[in-house]
Structure formats: structure tokens, C-alpha cells
Structure 1
Amino acid sequence: MPSSSAYRERVIQHSAQQEPSTAPALALLPTIVPALLVGIAASLVLLGVEAAAEQLEHLLWRDLPDAIGVGRYSVLWMCTVLFATAVAVGLVVWKAPGHAGPDPATTGLDAPVLPPVVLPGLVLATGLMLAGGPSLGPENPVIAVNVSLAVRLGTRAFPGAPEKGWVALAEAATIGALFGTPVAAALIISEALAGQRIKGQLWDSLFAPLLAAAAGAITVTLVAQPVFDLGLPPFGHPGWTDLLAAVTVALAGALLGMGAVYAFPHVHAAFRRLRHPMLMLPAGGLVLGGLAALGGHLTLFKGLDEMTELGHDPGGWSAGEFAVMAVVKVAAMLVAASCGFRGGRIFPAVFAGTALGLCAHALVPEVHVAVGVAAAVLGMLLAITRQGWLSLFVAAVLVTSPGVITLLVLASLPAWLLVTGRPQMQLGPDGRAVR
């Protein structure tokens, strides 16, 4: 997941529009209804895309192979479905109005406001990707869809409201829906506002986006009941060896993530030489099929359900198998993001971190499994997203052990020194990495 510099600018501009008054509550009250509407609508868009993708996924990976007598996750079937998915997405990118949005390698949390004609193609390409197995998540394209719809409909329904405000609401709402909690959105917004001069109180600026995020989160929770806890053995009180383990594993996660970051412009440039989506995407599908054959079916898809399977049986694979899954997942994410699949990098990065943390535990049993997983996820996300608070939040949520939090905060500091100021996993229009 790339940087959020444009998102930061939007939040700052939105907060600057909240003029201080003698009665700030009166200025905030009119934002309640729009925030609630955007939060509910954004979560329903996410749920709709994921529900449709899930039905297609069942058809592709359960009903069809069972009907023709092929193993659901045999090498032949994985390669076939990934290639067919790449061809289908390539057709959408080629023929759909607006070509399913901009090059996904150049987008992230700072979602552009797209013309309405582009959105159906972007939704279709995203749904096909989610169902077909490439290693990307729904976050980037769904944020772009929700931002575009919020700006389009919001400025019509409330002509006096600024466009930047609708962008901030839609992005916060989608982030809240993605993680099933408004905390992630609040942390990202707070990080965006850090060091900026804000008119009035911080919570005045957070009020409407946080409400939108809460509405999105509660809607998803009521409908889908998402679970991020991996069910790992609880961790007690930290010791010095735990701190050493957390720092070491977090650095290993950051190094693995930075490997993908540095390779990103080169892999992207290699696919761009093919020039046409009906060449770039099918070529990427073939590479993804080979990676799936190497890493197994758990390295497919965005990775949320698959990392839960890993967490429920941390002793079910060897250290070498965990290491292969971590490296293959990073490589699959890199290829999928480079060849033109529409999707985000947060969830695949979390899976890779989970596998790396379980590898550390398998190699050195003295590394508590919860510490290893949380620290590796932290390092991976710091490298891929450059969002410190989001990385800490996701790493802590996965293990739900309060004793790990102090270790994560301390481990984040050397990992941050490793990634800060270096290229990010986002490209500019010229194909060079954003810094």
C-alpha cells in the first residue's frame, strides 16, 4: 500500500474548512447526517463487491473443478483459473470505458475522483480479481469507487459542501469498513494531521470522518461479522528475550517488504514493455500460476482467510514451508500489482508477515508465536504502507495480547529507521518510485 500524501492534504484542507466559532457543536451538527450516509453507503459498496466476488470464487474454485473432476487446488487448475482471470480482467481494462481506472501501481489511499463512466469497469475488474485468486486486496479500488460516488452524489445533494470534505468522509468510511472498526481510520487521520496547524480542537476535525468510519464499521460488523484475531496462544508478560525477538523479526519483515518495494519499478517496467493489457495481464497470470504452484493454494487471494488458517495450526507447517509462503506471497503481490490487476497491498502484506512470523517461531521455538507474527506483520506493513499507526494497529489486532503492544512500539522504531526516507511501493506517472 502506497503513501497517503494526497490523502493527508485532503484531510488537512477539510479540517481547515472547519472554521472556529463560539459554538463549535453547532458547526459539527450538520455533518452528522452526511457522515452517517457516506459511512453506510461505503460499507455496502464494499460488502456488495466482496459478496459478488465470493459467489464467483465458489463457482471457480469449488463447483467447476468438482463438476469436471479436477482437484480444486491442483497445479493445473490454479494455473488455469489465474490465467483465465487475467484474460478476463485484461478484457475489462482494454474495452471498458475509462479502462477500469488509472494504473493501480500509481494509486493508493489517495484515491482520485474518477468520472462515473469509469466505475463499472473498475468494480468488475476488482470483483474478478478477488474471485480469481491474484494476491491483492479490495482496499484501493473500493476507496476510489466510494470517493467518486461520494463526491458526485454529495455535491449534488449538498451544493454548499466542499468536495474535499466528501473525499475525507468516503476514505475514512471505507477504511473503517475494511477493518470493522473506526480506530484504523482515526489513527490514519491523526497521523495525517500530525505537525499541522489545525483550527480548533483535533476532535473537531476528526468528528465527521470518525463518524463516517464508525458507521461503515458497524454496518460491516452487523452484516458480515469480520474477525481479525488469528487465535494464537496468548502472550503473558514480556521479557528481554521477547524484546530482542520482536526487534529482530520486525527488521526481517521490513527487509522482506523493502525487497518488494525496490523491485516494484523494475517489475512494473518489464510488464509495461508489453504495452497492451491483453498481453500484460495474461503474462502476469502465467507468472502467478507458477508462483501458486510453488507456494500452494494458501498463497492465493487477498490472504485474510488463508492467514487465519495458518494461525489456527501454527505447528502444521515447517519453517521452510512458512518461509516459502512468505516469499511467494510477496512475489505474487508484486507481480499482481505490476501487471495491471486492480487491488491493494495491505492484506497480502499481512499474510506474508504472518507466514514470516510463524517461520521465526518454527526456527526458534523460544520466539513466542504471538510475538513473531505481530512483529513480522508490523515490519512488513511499515515497509509497504509507511503508515506507522496503521501498522501497529493491525499487528496488535491480529494477536489480541496486551503484553505484545509495548514490544511492538519498541520494535517499530528500528524498523522505521530502516524504511523511512526510502522509495515507497507507489509509482509516479514516470514509473519511478515515489519517495
Structure 2
Amino acid sequence: MKKNLVMILVVGFLGGIIGGITWLILFLLNHGIEIIWHVIPENLNLTVYPLVVCALGGVLVGLWEKRFGPYPRELSEIMAEVKSGQKIPYNNLHIIGVAALLPLIFGGSLGPEAGLSGIIVGLCFWFSDKLKFALSEVDEIAEIGMAATIGVIFNSPLFGFVNQIEDDGSVKKIPKNTKILLYFVGIIGGFGAFRFLSRTIGGGPGLGNFPGIETLGSNEWALVIPLALAGSLLGMGYFVFKSIVKKAIQPLKDKVVAKAIVAGAILGGVGMFLPYTMFSGEHQMTDLMTSWQSIGVGLLFVTAVVKLLITNVCLEMGWRGGHIFPVIFAGAAIGYAFAILLPIDPIFCVAVVAAALTGVILRKPLAVILLLLIMFPLDAIIPLVIGAVIGGAIPVPGFLGLDQTE
């Protein structure tokens, strides 16, 4: 009992540190974007500004990787190594921090979860090394820290918890019930610190909230399966694009700086005509919710599909980060496109399509449901479940030569 109490206090304290670091990184990110993409352009009249800035970003991203290596690593890689018992080094956290911020500040269609998880997991291993004299179980503290980080980033405590344990079958030192308690202590500690800093100083994620479903009748239920299948099929395009980009960049395979510059040029060039294809989509989601009808079917559909492509261009060409925020944005945009065409409630339509598309890519239906419930009203739970389950059940075609966890 005494040992459990000590572990609870340790994890709660660590959760608070995690929440503070997560807030700091997102605070720096938001201010960097504000300066580069709002303050500076106000004093310039440069039509090709996105192309110039993204190409410059490519130079910096490429040079940083050439000097220090490929950071940040993908979230799935970090999670797999932590769960297999491998130790993540913590002597390069400042390098990971800069590597995480550069592509995001310069407009990459990426989320912050990969870079933040790399920093936090390294910090957790440092913390556990310092405490080994007191607790033998602290090797598993990195998993708890990762859950807290993901929960804070996506503003969803349950998503952070379920995303960490949904496919975890490994043997652990800490008893299951105790570890579940520690997960929630760490996540609550992280949320407390993050919310306190966000409210007193500002900053933080902002995916926005969809309004409630106004109508729910026979039209909606008749189309729910076709919509889920359509969303899943479009989500499969993410893996198709990944395969195409992997093959297309073979001539530049070892040219780190050139790859990053080309990716920046593509990102900025496309962004001049389709601005929503840039950035994570997190802050643009609110704009999408209010202007989807005026954007139109064609532009919504093209934006969503191209965003899935651009995200893969960034990831495969050295602009490293996460893919969850861009995927959710693409799913919402395609859902709204279908809502214009079909005589059904738009929020119902977006819920089904976004859940199916995200479910195909993340492969974790329960985590997808809990994540999207932060944005969608509770009355969208059934369409979210149907979309996420159908999307998560569809396998990635073997001919693409990709692992389903990629």
C-alpha cells in the first residue's frame, strides 16, 4: 500500500510536468505560426509567400536532419519500442524539440503528437532512472507519460488511455488495476497543469466543437453504411499515397536536404491554391465548420484528398510529425462534401465519414471514437461507432507493400 501511494504521488507529479512541457511546446508553436504566417505577411505583398517560406522551411528541416539525424520519430515507432521494453535516450531532447517545431511552424501538414511524445518519453526515462533506487517498477512510467501526453494534446483523457492500451498484450511488472489507476493519475495531473497554464497565459489545442444532430430519420440510417464504406475507401487513399510517395522519392533517398526542400516547395506551391492543405488542420477546423457550404463540394473533396497526399509528402520527405490532426480534418472536409450532395443531417454525415476515414488509418476503433467524441456531440455516438468499426475492420491491401501499423 505504501509503495502504491508513493507511485501515485510520483506519477501525479510527473503528469504535472508533462502537462507543463506540452503547453510550452504548443505555446511556442502557436506564436511561431502567428509571426511567420500572420505578422510578417501583413507587411509584405508577396503572392508566392507560401512557396518561399515553405521552401525556406525545407532548407532548415533538411539541414537540421543532416546534422542531428531523423527526428522526431513517428509516434507508432516510439510506442512500439516502449512497449517492447526498449529504452529511449534522453540526452537529445533539445534536438527533438527543435526538429518537432520546425516543420510545424513552417506550415507542414502534420500534428505535434510525434515530437511531443518523443520529448516526454525521453523525459520519463530520465525521471525513472533517477528513481530506480526507490521503485523497481518505474521502467513502465514512460508508457504512462505517453498516455498523459496524447490525452493532453488531443484534449481527450480517455483517448490517451485507450490509445496506449488498446493493443497492448505485453507482460507488466505493475498489476493491471494499479496501472490503470496510474494512467488516470498521470493524465489528470497533465490535464490540470495544462489547463491551468492555458487559462492563465493562453495557448493550447483547438479542434472546435460540432453542433448537435438536428434531424435523425430514415434517410440517415439508410445511408450510414454506404457513407462508412465511402469514408473507408477514401481513407485507404492515405495508404495509396504513402506507397506512391515512397516509390517516387527513391532517386532522392539519400539526399536529405534536397528531399526536404522539394517537400517544402510542393507544400507551399499547393498551399497557394489550397490553403487548407497546409498546417495540421487543428485551428482550421473551426473555419471549416462555419464555411463548408460556401466552399462547395468540389473544393472540399479536392482539399481533403490533397491533404492526405501532402501529409504523406511531408512524412516521407523529412518533414516529420504526426498525422492524426490532418487525417481528422480531411475526414471532416469529405464528410461535409457528402452532406452538400445528400438529403441528410450534415453532422451525422461528417461523423460517419470522419470516423470511418480515421478508423482506417489509425486501426484503433475505440480510440477513434473517444477521440472524436471530444469534437462531436454525444448524440453522434452511434454514427461514430459505426464509422470507426467499419473503417478499422478493413485491411490495408497487401499489394501496397505497407504494414498496417505504418
Change (3 A) 1:289 1:200: closer
* Deviation of 1:353 (Å): 0.7
Alignment of 1:341-380 (within 5 A): 341-364=319-342, 366-380=343-357
Change (3 A) 1:127 1:409: same
* Deviation of 1:327 (Å): 1.0
2:15 matched to 1:36?
Answer: no
1:156 to 130, 140, 148: 130
Change (3 A) 1:286 1:108: farther
1:184 to 142, 159, 163: 159
* Deviation of 1:336 (Å): 0.6
Contact 2:256–2:318 (Cα < 8 Å) also in 1: yes
Change (3 A) 1:215 1:272: farther
Distance 2:97 2:323 in 1: 17
Q: 1:339 maps to which residue?
A: 317
Contact 2:110–2:323 (Cα < 8 Å) also in 1: yes
Q: 2:58 maps to which residue?
A: 86
Q: 1:13 maps to which residue?
A: none
* Deviation of 1:100 (Å): 4.5
- List gaps (5 residues or longer) in structure 1: 1-24, 426-430
2:245 matched to 1:245?
Answer: no
Contact 1:36–1:215 (Cα < 8 Å) also in 2: yes
Aligned residues: 395
Name the stretch that deviates more: 148-157 or 105-114.
105-114
2:260 to 249, 273, 281: 281
So what's the TM-score if we normalise by structure 2? 0.88
Q: 2:304 maps to which residue?
A: 326
Contact 1:130–1:301 (Cα < 8 Å) also in 2: yes
So what's the TM-score if we normalise by structure 1? 0.82
| Secondary structure at the counterpart of residue 293 of structure 2 | coil
Q: 1:215 maps to which residue?
A: 189
Contact 1:180–1:220 (Cα < 8 Å) also in 2: no
Q: Deviations over 1:380-412 (max 9, x none)?
A: 211221111121122332221x22212322333
2:191 maps to amino acid: A
- List gaps (5 residues or longer) in structure 2: none
Distance 2:389 2:76 in 1: 28
1:212 maps to amino acid: G
Distance 2:176 2:213 in 1: 34
Distance 2:233 2:44 in 1: 43
Give the CA RMSD over aligned residues: 2.8
Change (3 A) 1:272 1:114: farther
Q: 1:307 maps to which residue?
A: 285
| Secondary structure at the counterpart of residue 256 of structure 1 | helix
2:113 matched to 1:139?
Answer: yes
Change (3 A) 1:111 1:345: farther
Q: 1:433 maps to which residue?
A: 403
Q: Deviations over 1:267-302 (max 9, x none)?
A: 13433531121111111111212321342x222111
Distance 1:36 1:172 in 2: 13
| Secondary structure at the counterpart of residue 292 of structure 2 | coil
Change (3 A) 1:322 1:118: same
Distance 1:238 1:111 in 2: 44
Alignment of 1:91-102 (within 5 A): 91-96=63-68, 99-101=69-71
Distance 1:26 1:255 in 2: 52
Q: 2:269 maps to which residue?
A: 290
Distance 2:255 2:285 in 1: 34
| Secondary structure at the counterpart of residue 110 of structure 1 | helix
Distance 1:336 1:326 in 2: 15
Change (3 A) 1:173 1:353: same
Q: 1:17 maps to which residue?
A: none
1:224 to 198, 213, 220: 198
Alignment of 1:101-140 (within 5 A): 101=71, 104=74, 107=77, 109-110=79-80, 113-140=87-114
Name the stretch that deviates more: 182-191 or 119-128.
182-191
Name the stretch that deviates more: 101-110 or 160-169.
101-110
Change (3 A) 1:200 1:161: closer
Distance 2:174 2:21 in 1: 33
Distance 1:133 1:424 in 2: 32
Contact 1:122–1:141 (Cα < 8 Å) also in 2: yes
| Secondary structure at the counterpart of residue 68 of structure 1 | coil
Distance 2:130 2:306 in 1: 46
Q: 2:374 maps to which residue?
A: 397
Distance 1:408 1:29 in 2: 38
Q: Deviations over 1:41-76 (max 9, x none)?
A: 222222222211222212211222222333xxx4x0
